[in-house]
Amino acid sequence: MTPERYARLRETLDRRQPDLTLLTEQIHKPRNIAALVRTADAVGIHQVHMVWPWDKHRHYSGTAMGSDRWVNVNRHESMPAAISQLKESGYKVYAAHFSDRAVDYRSVDYSVPCALVLGNEKKGISADTADLVDEHVVVPMMGMVESFNVSVAAAIILAEAQRQRAALGLYDKVRLDQEEYWQTLFRWAHP
């Protein structure tokens, strides 16, 4: 490994945000998953959470997606299980979801430990999930089309999370714990 490559791996790990994550509800198009993981990496997300659609994609492997080299993918059996695990770990859970209680995505705090839930390409966020989360956030839409592509909505919201965290200096100090940091460095350096 070149010194430049080593420095780049370290720099990336120095900025990882272990307390910022995504949770996808039955998102199934590989290109959407790939774009979500790519954007997650770019804002410093270390691990994402996913609940696959039961019917088809049970054996969808992380590796098959091709974009999980830099971001860990944690698969859960159900949305209630994933959400309660996140809540027990102290995360706020925000769903990107249109509803009567939805607020503008810029009005919530992404500098606290938090997870952003994204809904299925066709069906969106389920009613059960909508009930379980802390907040519903929306990106305002001024046109005729009713929703963004899911990876676009996620990117707009995550750019705001990145802005808030950068303003507070959260990318300027190492946030991963030492064990995770060095294990990840080892794995990235010896694929």
Ligand X SMILES: C[S@@+](CC[C@H](N)C(=O)[O-])C[C@H]1O[C@@H](n2cnc3c(N)ncnc32)[C@H](O)[C@@H]1O
Residues that bind ligand X (CB under 6 A): 96-97, 118-119, 121, 124-125, 138-139, 141, 147-148, 150, 153
The single residue listed with the structure tokens 């965290």 is 165
**What is the side-by-side strand order in the sheet with 114-118?**
72-75, 47-51, 20-25, 114-118, 92-96, 135-138, 103-104
CB of 148 to ligand X, least distance (A): 4
Q: With CB cut-offs between 5 and 8 Å by kind, which of ligand X, a copy of itself, none does residue 5 bind?
A: none
Classify residue 124 as left (phi > 0), alpha (psi -120 to 50) or beta.
Answer: left
Residues 14-33 that bind a copy of itself (CB under 8 A): 15, 31
Buried b (16+ CB within 10 A) or exposed e, 27-54: bbeeebbebbbebbbebbbbebbbbbee
Does position 148 interact with a copy of itself (CB under 8 A)? The reply is yes
CB of 42 to a copy of itself, least distance (A): 4
Q: Which of 67, 76, 66 is nearest to 45 (CA)?
A: 67
Strand stretches in 26-134, DSSP E: 47-51, 72-75, 92-96, 103-104, 114-118
Amino acid (one-letter) located at 8: R
Q: With CB cut-offs between 5 and 8 Å by kind, which of ligand X, a copy of itself, none does residue 68 bind?
A: none
Does position 65 interact with a copy of itself (CB under 8 A)? The reply is no
Binding a copy of itself (rule: CB under 8 A), the pick from 3, 4, 88, 142 is 142
Does position 167 interact with a copy of itself (CB under 8 A)? The reply is no
Q: With CB cut-offs between 5 and 8 Å by kind, which of a copy of itself, ligand X, none does residue 32 bind?
A: none
Encoded tokens for 67: 């974009």
Segment near a copy of itself (CB under 8 A); pick from 54-62, 66-74, 129-137, 178-186: 66-74
Closer residue to ligand X (CB): 9 or 156: 156
